Structure 1
């Protein structure tokens, strides 16, 4: 099975969504008893109607997927999955401020074969932690979501992989799934976060999303050296050892 890169960088191991290799993988998947010969059935659920319609338009262009329903609330998502029995659902990580984690758990308890992917916006990493622990198998960030990246994430989910969007490191992936990946303390005093200046707070939010120094530089229109200086300040002020621990404790702090 080829390995997937969930970003737009064409490097070693990258599998283009339109490649013949990917088509071959798809055809072999269709031979699996649990997938059958039909397109893979997908439900999308989100409070953002424009986002849902955009994803729906893309799914219509990709013959390997079949959109079987749209939901705009957590209860609608659960009822739709119960009725349509999709292969997987892509859903927003929050609905009007409410975490999707309890619904993810209900869905996974009701159908152990259902694959759940959550979509988050900046600052929602704490909710992503909850959703992954509830049974979600992947996530993507709206701000980074291109058509190719979305297709790759859906493919990874369909193949049974755990799929993360962006440049999130393996250590932080372990944090999201297992809860205690680092030796960072379980809680960080709020005064530590209060000591961060505005730039450090913005950089920390992007660290939490898994962005690299170069990506943070582009997003905030800062030099890479300035980003590195801000990260060093964050590490010192939060009393952690590295950027991964800073991201983990920030996610826990924001989750509340």
Structure 2
């Protein structure tokens, strides 16, 4: 089930804000669909909360910033859908997903992940999660259709990693061990390191990176050193190649 138009002209798809679509939603459920959000990124949580509040067919029943709090929320309200970050405070989501899915099989978990977290997503899906959404690529309307798909029992993938993840889950070698290892290395980078790594992949010099990110050149140099250590590579060229392979 997908009510999202992706911006393309197609008369067979309903506008996500149409009265007709709202009528379909109301006919499917007498009560709003309960949703829990669990993620360490407060800005993301606030954004998702605001979106859910605009859609009358959903009810946000709680937010959590740790996996323990997420499990407590699920135990208390037993929502049909949980939107969960791929990692919280450096802890991968797989154990939390397995715990929720084992105790409350009627609750379906969708993982929200950033660039470089496909390995964490794959582990979460194997633990029982039913969907995946890319933080960088997902739109509001797409999120709406994904939540409905989960609630209706479908497996919902969104984002450029979807095909690779489905292939890996089907056992066709979609993600190699080296790929997953490199993805975990990239997932260990903080936001500044990821921004600089993306510019390294573009071939930017330290001076150009400094100008584009409004950082001092000593800071850029120091951060690049940190990137090389975390990626287990010897130079910026190897770091750029690794990044390119994972994107």
What corresponds to 2:77 in structure 1? 84
Partner of residue 101 from structure 1, selected from 76, 94, 102: 94
By how many angstroms is 1:174 displaced? 2.7
What corresponds to 2:17 in structure 1? 18
| Structure 1: 5+ residue stretches without partners | 31-36, 192-197, 204-236, 239-245, 252-256
Structure 2: distance between partners of 1:14 and 1:151: 14
TM-score, normalised relative to structure 2:
0.67
- 2:158 matches 1:165: yes
Q: 1:185 to 1:65 in 2, by over 3 A?
A: closer
By how many angstroms is 1:116 displaced? 0.5
Partner of residue 146 from structure 1, selected from 132, 139, 143: 139
By how many angstroms is 1:61 displaced? 1.0
- 2:36 matches 1:43: yes
Q: In structure 2, the residue corresponding to 1:66 is in which secondary structure?
A: strand
Q: In structure 1, the residue corresponding to 2:136 is in which secondary structure?
A: helix
Q: For this pair of structures, how many residues does the alignment match?
A: 193
Q: 1:38 to 1:174 in 2, by over 3 A?
A: same
Structure 2: distance between partners of 1:94 and 1:6: 30
What corresponds to 2:26 in structure 1? 27
Structure 1: distance between partners of 2:141 and 2:174: 36
Contact 2:97 2:127 in 1 (8 A): yes
Q: 1:140 to 1:77 in 2, by over 3 A?
A: same
What RMSD, in angstroms, separates the aligned Cα atoms of the two structures? 3.2
Q: 1:3 to 1:55 in 2, by over 3 A?
A: closer
Q: Greater CA radius of gyration, 1 or 2?
A: 2
Structural mapping, 1:215-234, within 5 Å: none
Structure 1: distance between partners of 2:65 and 2:101: 19
Which runs of 4 or more aligned residues in structure 1 lie more than 6 Å from their structure 2 counterparts after TM superposition? none
What corresponds to 2:213 in structure 1? none
Structure 1: distance between partners of 2:165 and 2:102: 23
Structural mapping, 1:104-119, within 5 Å: 104-119=97-112
Q: 1:99 to 1:177 in 2, by over 3 A?
A: same
What corresponds to 1:175 in structure 2? 167
Structure 2: distance between partners of 1:165 and 1:44: 17
By how many angstroms is 1:153 displaced? 1.4
CA distances 1:202-256 after superposition (whole Å, capped 9, x unpaired): 59xxxxxxxxxxxxxxxxxxxxxxxxxxxxxxxxx99xxxxxxx97xx59xxxxx
What corresponds to 2:59 in structure 1? 66
CA distances 1:65-104 after superposition (whole Å, capped 9, x unpaired): 0000010001100111001111110010100111011000
By how many angstroms is 1:60 displaced? 1.0
| Structure 2: 5+ residue stretches without partners | 183-196, 203-240
